[in-house]
Amino acid sequence: MKILLDNGIFIHSEFAEDAINPTTVNWGDTTITRSVHGLVRKKPDDDPEYQSQKEALFTVGTLIREGRIQAYDYIEIRFERMRGRAPIQHFNALQNCQIHRCLTPVERFRFRQTINIMETIAKGGKNDRKAGTALGIANQIPFFEWLCRLSKPNVDNIVKHAADIGLPPFEVESLKNVEWFQVVCRRSGSPENYPDVFHLWTAERNGLDAVLTLEKRLPNLVFRINNERNKKIQIRTEVLRPLQLLRKLGINETDPVPMAPDRFYDYLTL
């Protein structure tokens, strides 16, 4: 199976967090206390079902390393990953997994250019506004809102000047079918959800089998659209949570988390 991993999968594949363990050492007649740096396992989620979905990522990682799953991301998900800190690789469910890169339906930089990399990385939603993050038309959500406003004459005009803009054939075809993205965005209820819809559109355009997510919102949205009486579009890509994916592959037992809950892991002995 070819599967697009959303940003939450990368975030929650990380089970370790930095910790400091004060250690006392006797040196002759002197007792010395030193801070030893290492890792501990993150506290489990308050929702046991959600925690089980996260722990299933170790089995997903095994399937990727074995080649039973081809995992993908793309530039928008990579931008989302850049909003956080560098991940801890020790005890990471996706450690040593090959992640392929797929094409973006429409590259943001072709229509929204900025010299401020933070403007490119920012989502441009309500949390950014509350945090005072620099907002602009190059943010994710404003660009997706622009795509939603494109009319057929707008698209025809862009396609007419595709060579001047530098649009490759893949993106031209995406714009010709931008109504698919627009329909799903309208059903999503809020521009806050547009990035997830764009991820789904990316998987559709690249012919991937599924999007893997830990959240329920996108799977529920796809279920509603596919069960409408008067469907305007067809969503072929499945949206699966980790345990759903494993069941689909006939796997009922998951790999154990290779990290004890109450143990301190010294960096020197990892």
Q: What tens digit of pLDDT does each residue of 37-69 get?
A: 999 999 999 999 999 999 999 999 999 999 999
174 plus 245 within the same structural domain: no
The average pLDDT across 128-157 equals 91
Domain, as residue range, for 158: 105-205
53 in a structural domain: yes
267 in a structural domain: no
% the chain with pLDDT above 90: 76
199 plus 215 within the same structural domain: no
The average pLDDT across 168-172 equals 97
168 plus 200 within the same structural domain: yes
> Over the chain, what is the mean pLDDT?
93
95 plus 214 within the same structural domain: yes
Which one has a higher pLDDT value, 28 or 265?
Answer: 265
Q: Check residue 269 and give its pLDDT.
A: 78
Q: Does pTM surpass 0.75?
A: yes
Q: Check residue 33 and give its pLDDT.
A: 84
Q: Check residue 67 and give its pLDDT.
A: 96
Q: How far is CA 42 from CA 10, 116, 121, 213, 242, in A?
A: 15, 34, 26, 20, 19
27 plus 3 within the same structural domain: yes
pLDDT tens digits, one per residue of 212-221 = 999 999 999 9
151 plus 110 within the same structural domain: yes
150 plus 113 within the same structural domain: yes
Of 242, 259, 261, nearest in space to 43 by CA = 261
31 in a structural domain: yes
Contact partners, residue 11, CB within 8 Å, separation at least 6: 81, 84
Q: Check residue 91 and give its pLDDT.
A: 95
Q: Which two tokens stand for residue 170?
A: 């893949």
177 in a structural domain: yes
Q: Which two tokens stand for residue 232?
A: 């305007």
Q: Check residue 224 and give its pLDDT.
A: 93
Contact partners, residue 90, CB within 8 Å, separation at least 6: 16, 39, 265, 270
67 plus 191 within the same structural domain: no
The pLDDT-based confidence of 99 (bands split at 50, 70, 90) is very high
269 in a structural domain: no
Q: Check residue 24 and give its pLDDT.
A: 80
Q: Check residue 55 and give its pLDDT.
A: 97
155 in a structural domain: yes
Query: Looking at the 3D structure of the chain, how many domains does it have?
Result: 2
Q: Check residue 235 and give its pLDDT.
A: 94
67 plus 8 within the same structural domain: yes
79 plus 111 within the same structural domain: no
129 in a structural domain: yes
86 plus 170 within the same structural domain: no
73 plus 189 within the same structural domain: no
pLDDT at 134 exceeding the cut of 80: no
pLDDT tens digits, one per residue of 221-246 = 999 999 988 878 899 999 999 999 99
61 in a structural domain: yes
